[in-house]
A and B are shown apart, each in its own frame.
Chain A
Amino acid sequence: MNALRDKYAIVGTGKSRLGQVGENSLSLLEEAIKNALDEAGLTSKEVDGLVVRGPDDVYSHHQLIAARLGIDVDFSTSLDNGGASQILSLILAVMAIEAGLASVVVCGYGRDSWTRTHQKGKGIAENSLIPAAQRPREHGPEFGHFGAVSQHAFGARRHMFEYGTTRDDFAAIAMAFREHALRNPDAMMKKSLSLEDYQRARLIVDPFGLFDCSLNTDGAGAVVVTSTERAKSLRQRPVLIKGFATHNNTKGWILGDHMLSTGAVESGARAFRMAGLGPKDVDTAQIYDCFTYMVLTQLEDYGFCKKGEGGAFARSGALRLDGVLPCNTSGGQLSEAHVEGMLQIVEGARQLQGVYGPDRQVPDAEIALISGHGGNQVCHSTLILGRA
């Protein structure tokens, strides 16, 4: 058995307000951390590790957050793996505690994307989430190629070509998550989504329309990680960290078959091995859903269905709360809020704590799989949690 399996646990989870909040990313993260510490029954004075992330132009995020919390910390850093960072923050927390570098680590992510993109009197470039110095200046923008939507849409198009996947397959994913969001009072999206709504919505970058794209959010999430031994004396029922892994297709998203076969293939297989589990053992999946297609391909890559069958799997109702694999039960980034995967860790943990009412709880959930994906579409991480 893997020596780290079940040795560490999540002992508190927290969210900030979500949506069009109008606070900066640091304030939102501070709010989420406060909520996570309260849930754990801890104060910031007991925190000796901090691994966080925020907007790419906020330098030394972790130092600013620690200062706000009024703490010196033995272990702290900020991460740079895009949407794969948030699971990586938990992995670093476990590694740091295992190495004796810290004992209670707060992991978190905060963003103020909605506010940044709605500044009055500023043009689209000034409102960009990517700092000017980091934007490509050749081999892309001259062709009118900008950013993440179209990069992922390349993958969707090739998948449609190779496997006969359709936009209605993507719709099944968007609709299932929207149904979940309607049961989640925190979710930004409050209206139901029909197939007709999906089909009628404007195209953004074809094959993606409006409802294939995740939300623009101000918000934050945080979790507290410590040893399962230490967790025994804390307030909450802990959630066991059973397995984790990362894999980065850093050769490039447009190379090889990376846009069809994500890092979930490798990070999933290794996380399952660490946990001693397989796809059939998973009771709920919280899949990184920056775009509908990314859910479809990751479900295939994890082995929840065969390659090329993700569309049929989604259309079968598998992802709904009463399906074989309740997926993104909070509404996910498509319908709850886009906090770069942090809220999916929170949701996975809470499903295993069994905190929800019957309208929103996955019955008898014992194992949750959570995925993280991002950077330049190439970084991937997997986390497998278990009920204590």
Chain B
Amino acid sequence: MPEYKKPIPVPSAEAQPYWDGLRDRKLLMPRCDACGKYWFPPSLLCPHCNATKWTWASTSGHGRIFSYVVYHRVYHPGFADEVPYAVAVIELDEGPRMISNVIGIAPDKLACDMRVEVVYQPITETITLPKFKPAAV
């Protein structure tokens, strides 16, 4: 396998369970025990109702492209062979939004509100990235 040259995430303490979940092919998000809402990235209080009790909960891994851009400029040498590539704001059906890549489709075929589903892409023994592909209809 060729050497992985892209940035490898350095998990923050509060996001470690998120990365552990990805390694097990689960997309976990914080969900408030009090109001039931999800959010991302993790924080100590529920940003919706300030409750302190919450749980790492499974999500469907399905959502939509809220917005997307196509990188033509190389900002990091690890992406030199990838341009043009798409970076998107994904809105999960459970509500949270996150940055990711949309793969398996040409960037010029993308559209806002397109339905997508998560794809797990292991890059090291401990780190798996959540990427997205067009949802199977």
Query: Residues on A close to B: CB < 8 A?
Result: 124-125, 137-147, 149-150, 153-155, 157-158, 161, 202-208, 251, 254-255, 259
Interface string of B1-29 (1 = CB under 8 A from A): 00000111111100100010000000000
- Minimum CB–CB distance for B97 against chain A, Å: 5
Query: Is there an interface contact between A143 and B67, defined as CB atoms closer than 8 Å?
Result: no
Query: Is there an interface contact between A142 and B7, defined as CB atoms closer than 8 Å?
Result: yes
- Complex contacts, A137 vs chain B, CB 8 Å: 7, 9-10, 12
- Minimum CB–CB distance for A248 against chain B, Å: 15
Query: Is there an interface contact between A138 and B12, defined as CB atoms closer than 8 Å?
Result: yes
B93 beta carbon closer than 8 Å to chain A? no
Counting chain B CB atoms within 10 Å of each CB, the highest count among A149, A157, A158, A251 belongs to A157
State which size class the interface on B falls in: 35 or more
16 example contacts (A-B, Cβ-Cβ < 8 A) are as follows A137-B9, A137-B10, A141-B7, A142-B6, A142-B9, A143-B101, A146-B76, A150-B87, A154-B89, A157-B68, A203-B73, A205-B73, A208-B69, A254-B97, A255-B97, A259-B67
Query: Is there an interface contact between B76 and A140, defined as CB atoms closer than 8 Å?
Result: no
Query: Is there an interface contact between B98 and A139, defined as CB atoms closer than 8 Å?
Result: yes
Query: Is there an interface contact between A124 and B97, defined as CB atoms closer than 8 Å?
Result: no
- Complex contacts, B11 vs chain A, CB 8 Å: 138
Stretch at the interface among B30-38, B49-57, B78-86: B78-86
Query: A154-B69, A251-B47, A259-B67 are contacts. A143–B87 as well, Cβ < 8 Å?
Result: yes
Query: Is there an interface contact between B75 and A158, defined as CB atoms closer than 8 Å?
Result: no
Query: Is there an interface contact between A158 and B66, defined as CB atoms closer than 8 Å?
Result: yes
- Minimum CB–CB distance for B42 against chain A, Å: 10
Query: Is there an interface contact between B97 and A207, defined as CB atoms closer than 8 Å?
Result: no
- Minimum CB–CB distance for A15 against chain B, Å: 30
- Complexed CA–CA distance, A207 and B11 (Å): 31
- Complex contacts, A205 vs chain B, CB 8 Å: 69-73
Query: Is there an interface contact between A139 and B41, defined as CB atoms closer than 8 Å?
Result: yes
B44 beta carbon closer than 8 Å to chain A? no
Query: Is there an interface contact between A158 and B112, defined as CB atoms closer than 8 Å?
Result: yes
Query: A139-B98, A154-B89, A157-B112 are contacts. A144–B71 as well, Cβ < 8 Å?
Result: yes
- Complex contacts, B76 vs chain A, CB 8 Å: 124-125, 141, 144, 146
Least CB separation from B111: chain A residue: A161
- Complexed CA–CA distance, A146 and B87 (Å): 10
- Complex contacts, B7 vs chain A, CB 8 Å: 137, 141-142
Query: Is there an interface contact between A144 and B89, defined as CB atoms closer than 8 Å?
Result: no
Query: Is there an interface contact between A206 and B72, defined as CB atoms closer than 8 Å?
Result: yes
Counting chain B CB atoms within 10 Å of each CB, the highest count among A125, A145, A155, A208 belongs to A145
Counting chain A CB atoms within 10 Å of each CB, the highest count among B67, B70, B82, B111 belongs to B67
- Complex contacts, B46 vs chain A, CB 8 Å: none
The residue from B10, B112, B129 contacting A143, defined by CB atoms under 8 A apart: B129
Least CB separation from A159: chain B residue: B67
Least CB separation from A145: chain B residue: B87
Least CB separation from B12: chain A residue: A138
- Minimum CB–CB distance for B20 against chain A, Å: 13
Query: A144-B79, A144-B85, A203-B70 are contacts. A139–B112 as well, Cβ < 8 Å?
Result: no
- Complex contacts, A145 vs chain B, CB 8 Å: 87, 99
Least CB separation from A162: chain B residue: B112
Query: Is there an interface contact between A157 and B47, defined as CB atoms closer than 8 Å?
Result: no
- Complex contacts, B98 vs chain A, CB 8 Å: 139
B100 beta carbon closer than 8 Å to chain A? yes
3 smallest CB-CB distances across A and B, nearest first, come from A161-B112, A206-B70, A137-B10
- If A146-B75, A202-B72, A203-B72 are given as contacts, then 17 extra A-B residue pairs at C-beta distance below 8 Å, sorted by A number, are A137-B10, A138-B10, A141-B7, A142-B7, A142-B9, A143-B101, A144-B75, A144-B79, A149-B73, A157-B69, A158-B67, A161-B112, A203-B70, A204-B73, A206-B72, A207-B69, A255-B97
- Complexed CA–CA distance, A177 and B82 (Å): 34
- Complex contacts, A161 vs chain B, CB 8 Å: 67, 111-113
- Complexed CA–CA distance, A266 and B113 (Å): 28
Least CB separation from B121: chain A residue: A142
The residue from A125, A251, A254 contacting B66, defined by CB atoms under 8 A apart: A254
Query: Is there an interface contact between A138 and B97, defined as CB atoms closer than 8 Å?
Result: no
- Complexed CA–CA distance, A157 and B108 (Å): 13
- Minimum CB–CB distance for A151 against chain B, Å: 9
Query: Is there an interface contact between B66 and A138, defined as CB atoms closer than 8 Å?
Result: no
Considering the complex, which residues of chain B in the window 95-134 have a beta carbon less than 8 Å from any beta carbon of chain A? 97-101, 107, 111-113, 123, 129, 131
Least CB separation from B75: chain A residue: A146
- Complexed CA–CA distance, A149 and B123 (Å): 26
